[in-house]
Amino acid sequence: MLLFSAIRIFSLALLNFAATIPPTHYRIQDKKPGRFRAPAQ
């Protein structure tokens, strides 16, 4: 029971962490400075 709870919490944390990665990952992989700096301006 404890192991299942730990796995569930870990998977939820991993999901939340993964949800924050794509935007920056896409911006870095875009390789277009104009598109990368557009939000800052």
Tens digits of residue pLDDT in 1-41: 788 999 999 988 888 777 676 665 555 555 555 555 555 54
Please tell me the predicted confidence (pLDDT) of residue 21.
64
Residue ranges making up the domain that contains 25: 2-37
The total number of structural domains that make up the chain? 1
Residue type, 35: R
CA 9 – CA 12 distance, rounded (Å): 5
Q: What is the pLDDT of residue 6?
A: 92
State how far the Cα of 32 lies from the Cα of 14, in Å rounded to an integer.
29
Cα angle 29, 32, 35 (rounded to 5 degrees) comes to 105
Q: Which long-range contacts (CB under 8 A, 24 or more apart) does 25-28 make?
A: none
Q: What is the pTM of this model?
A: 0.41
